[in-house]
Amino acid sequence: MTPAIPLRPLGTTGLCLPPLGFGAFKIGRNQGIKYATPYELPDLAAVAALLHGVLDLGCTYLDTAPAYGISEERIGQSLGHSPHDFSLSTKVGETFVDGQSSYDFSRTAVEASLQRSCERLQTDVLDIVFIHAHARDFEILQQTDVVAVLREWREKHKIRAIGLSGKTPEAAQLALEWCDALMVEYHLQDPSHAAVMAEAAQRGIGVIVKKGLASGALPAAEAIRFVLANPHVTSLVVGGLSLEHFAENWRTAIAARS
C-alpha cells in the first residue's frame, strides 16, 4: 500500500507542499556549476519525462529560477497543459545569460523578470516568487525596490506568496517583516539559519530548505532525514536528472515525515 503523502501548509499562504520538492536547476543549466561532476543538459523529451515522473510520484512542488538557464521555459513547455495539480516557485534578481550570472533588483528589471517568468511558465499567476539574492542580501532588501514590487504583484493577485532566497540569517530575519516564506540553506554542516527558521514558523511563515545535501557533498539519506527532522521545515528542495535517484530520495523523505 502506498503511504499517504504528508503535506504541510506553507505558512498561511493556503499552499500545501510535500516534504520533498524538485529543484529544476539541472534541466536548464550546466555552466558555472558548483557540482563536483559535470553533466550534459537533457533534451526536451527527457526533461518532460523526468518532470512527469516526478509529479507521478506525488511530488507536487517544483522550484526554478531565471538563473537556472532555460529551466523555466522547459517547465512551461513540458507542463503547460499538465493535468497534475502542483505548486511552483521561481525567483527574481539574478539571471544567467551566455554563461554569466548578473544581478538587478531595480523595479524595471524585477517587473520584466516577473513578466518573462509568466510567459515562460505559461501561467497568469505565479505561486511563489523568491528574491534570488547574493551575499549582500541585507543591502538588497534595504536599498532596492524588489520587495515593493513583489508586494504590489501579490496585492494584485498575480503572485500568491513572496519571500527571500538569501545567504545570511540577518537578511532572513529582516525579511520576516514582509515575507510569506523563506528559502534558506540548512544542512548538517551549516545549521546557521536554525533560529530564524524557528521564528519564521512561529510567525506563520513557511520555511523551504535549499542545498540540504550541500550540493551533493553529503550522503542523501542522512541529509534528508536531518533536514526533515526539523519541525519548522515545510519542504526540502532536491534536484537531479535521474528519476530513479529522485524516487529514492522521495521514499526517504516520506518515511522521515510519516
Q: Which fold has domain 8-257?
A: TIM Barrel (3.20.20)
Q: Measure the CA angle with vertex 143, ends 140 and 148; round to 5°.
A: 85
Helices (H), the chain: 44-57, 71-79, 107-121, 137-143, 146-155, 169-175, 194-202, 220-228, 243-257
Cβ atoms within 10 A of the Cβ of 5, count?
18
Instruction: Write out pLDDT tens, residues 186-221.
Output: 999 999 999 999 999 999 999 999 999 998 889 999
At 37 the pLDDT is 84
**What average pLDDT does the segment 227-256 reach?**
98
Instruction: Write out pLDDT tens, residues 57-93.
Output: 999 999 999 999 999 999 999 998 776 799 999 999 9
The residue extents of the domains of the chain are: 8-257
**What average pLDDT does the segment 217-245 reach?**
97
Give the C-alpha separation, 253 to 248, whole Å. 9
pLDDT of 2 higher than 90: no
Q: Which residues contact 244 (CB under 8 A, 6 or more apart)?
A: none
pLDDT of 252 higher than 60: yes
Q: What is the pTM of this model?
A: 0.97
Range in 34-38, 56-60, 143-147 with the lowest mean pLDDT: 34-38
